[in-house]
Amino acid sequence: MGIDGRINANLIAMGLTVPTPIQAEAIPAIVAGRDLLGLAQTGTGKTAAFGLPMITRLIKYGRKPDPRTCRALILAPTRELATQIAQNVDAYAEGTPVRSYRIVGGASINVQTERMSRGVDVLIATPGRLIDLLERQAIDLSATEYLVLDEADQMLDIGFIHALRRIARLLPAKRQTLLFSATMPKLMSELADSYLKDPVKVAVNPPGKAAEKIEQGVHFVNQGDKATLLAEYMSKHTDELAIVFGRTKHGSEKLATLLDKWGYKVAAIHGNKSQGQRERALASFRAGETKVLVATDVAARGIDIPEVAHVYNYDLPNVPENYVHRIGRTARAGRTGRAVAFCAPAEIGELRAIERAMKAKIPVIGGEAPFELAGRTGPGTGPNAGQNAGRGGPKGGKPAFDGKKRPARRPSRAPRANQGGNRQHAE
């Protein structure tokens, strides 16, 4: 496919010998120098799709970059995704002269300024921190020949459109631009039209469609009963990794504290955590020391941990497309996974929006569906289906969808962890 032999050797050592569909279609076009619009789900190998041919072309320069410059710029919406990309790029480029550097918020800007004074081949950055360094004149983008926008739809989602336009004005008109996204909202089409020149379009999955190996389900439950219901589910797989998504920073922290009191090995990641806290939480989760990670949408992309077997949408996302990204944290690297959404009466609108975005119904696996959704098929939709939703203590009882009828019990006095709230602020 035109990839440098040293990179191929690294891939073989990593056990990567067969390209994924997005890689098979994108790599030849990128090697040929074409702009590219890639539409694919998370976890399909997009980093290698743009990283391998880019590193191959950078190897051919044969000299170090000038001070303060970068030859390739990769923009990512979150610190976690930027870190993930940097780790992959370093692994692909091992043994070659290509060097990468990551700049994100929450780290010392003075250290970042000093490092950029020597120049770098590949710069991986979040837009906000890149703007900070540009304002300090610590980075010069006039020599940047490759621009990659990864998970561009989320960058638009959390308000980075103005930062992207500002950055684009500082880049050479003659460059190769690669844009990757899992969804294709209208603003994304406009962005592609203005940034890409005669691009090759690669779409390996319909935008908004979830991975086929994810077993999905929705459980209807009152907001105040969600915590005990979550504990019931998790008590059945205490040795497997699970990610729980909340809507707000405060609510996610409160839920993590509650689960910790109930004896779960839990950590939290959200915008109020420092970069060091977030990295330690991820490292502990990746090592299996922490079994449950409670997160806001800051973790919906950029976490590539194949061992994650379960995803719980404790609160449904305000942005329908984020549902696909959230559940995409499981069923990675060819594995299967399970995603359960908890839907309170006030979240029916969010559920409908998610199903419209995916063009598919999520099977009901527990609780009693509201009247307007009562015609849907699936277990847990009968007249007695909701009697056990959220009942029982944090360590006892099976979720209602297992088909066994049990007498209703009053829920324990669990604090109401995260009852919605305003949409999470941009990181």
Checking if the pLDDT of 172 tops 60, the result is yes
Identify the residue with better confidence: 409 or 204.
204
Residue 130 to residue 133: CA distance in whole angstroms = 5
Residue with tokens 């739809």: 153
**Per-residue pLDDT at 187:** 72
Checking if the pLDDT of 328 tops 50, the result is yes
**Per-residue pLDDT at 299:** 64
Q: Are the C-beta atoms of residues 142 and 111 closer than 8 Å to each other?
A: no
Mean pLDDT of 290-315: 86
Q: Which helix (H) or strand (E) holds 178?
A: strand 176-181
Tens digit of each residue's pLDDT (9 = 90 or more) over 340-376: 999 999 999 999 999 998 889 999 999 987 755 655 5
Tens digit of each residue's pLDDT (9 = 90 or more) over 374-417: 555 444 433 333 333 333 344 443 343 333 333 334 344 444 44
- Which residues belong to CATH 3.40.50.300 in the chain? 5-203, 214-402
**Per-residue pLDDT at 156:** 78
What is 230-286 written as a DSSP string?
HHHHHTT-TTSEEEEE-SSHHHHHHHHHHHHHTT--EEEESTTS-HHHHHHHHHHHH
What is 194-230 written as a DSSP string?
HH-SS-EEEESS-TTPPPTTEEEEEEE--GGGHHHHH
* CATH code that applies to domain 214-402: 3.40.50.300
Q: Are the C-beta atoms of residues 36 and 178 closer than 8 Å to each other?
A: yes
Task: Please tell me whether the overall predicted TM-score, pTM, comes out greater than 0.75 for this model.
Answer: no
Nearest to 320 by CA among 339, 297, 290, 303: 297
Nearest to 36 by CA among 46, 44, 156: 46
Phi, psi of 208 (to 5 degrees): 90, -5
Burial of residue 314 (CB within 10 Å: 0-12, 13-18, 19+) is buried
Burial of residue 234 (CB within 10 Å: 0-12, 13-18, 19+) is buried
Rg of the chain over Cα atoms, rounded to whole angstroms, equals: 22
What is 318-359 written as a DSSP string?
SSTHHHHHHHTTSS-TT--EEEEEEE-GGGHHHHHHHHHHHT
What's the chain's length in residues? 427
Residue 41 one-letter amino acid: Q
Checking if the pLDDT of 167 tops 60, the result is yes
**Per-residue pLDDT at 147:** 97
Position 302 confidence tier, pLDDT thresholds 50, 70, 90? low
What mean pLDDT, rounded, does the chain reach?
84
Position 303 confidence tier, pLDDT thresholds 50, 70, 90? confident
Nearest to 325 by CA among 309, 339, 344: 339
| Distant-in-sequence, close-in-space partners of 168: CB < 8 Å, separation ≥ 6 | 147, 195
Checking if the pLDDT of 307 tops 60, the result is yes
Q: 9-13, 174-178, 301-305: lowest mean pLDDT where?
A: 301-305
Rank 55-64, 266-275, 404-413 by mean pLDDT and report only the highest: 55-64
| Distant-in-sequence, close-in-space partners of 207: CB < 8 Å, separation ≥ 6 | 39, 181, 182, 183, 184
Q: 152-170: string of b/e by CB count within 10 Å (b at 16+)?
A: bbbbbbbebbebbeebbee
Position 203 confidence tier, pLDDT thresholds 50, 70, 90? confident
Mean pLDDT of 162-190: 87
Residue 231 to residue 397: CA distance in whole angstroms = 10
Q: What is the end-to-end Cα distance of the chain in Å, rounded?
A: 37
Mean pLDDT of 33-38: 94
Residue 253 to residue 266: CA distance in whole angstroms = 10
| Distant-in-sequence, close-in-space partners of 372: CB < 8 Å, separation ≥ 6 | 348
Residue 26 to residue 310: CA distance in whole angstroms = 30
**What share of the chain in percent tops pLDDT 70?**
82
5-203 CATH pick, 3.30.1360.200, 3.40.50.10320, 3.40.50.2300, 3.40.50.300? 3.40.50.300
Position 161 confidence tier, pLDDT thresholds 50, 70, 90? confident
Position 305 confidence tier, pLDDT thresholds 50, 70, 90? confident
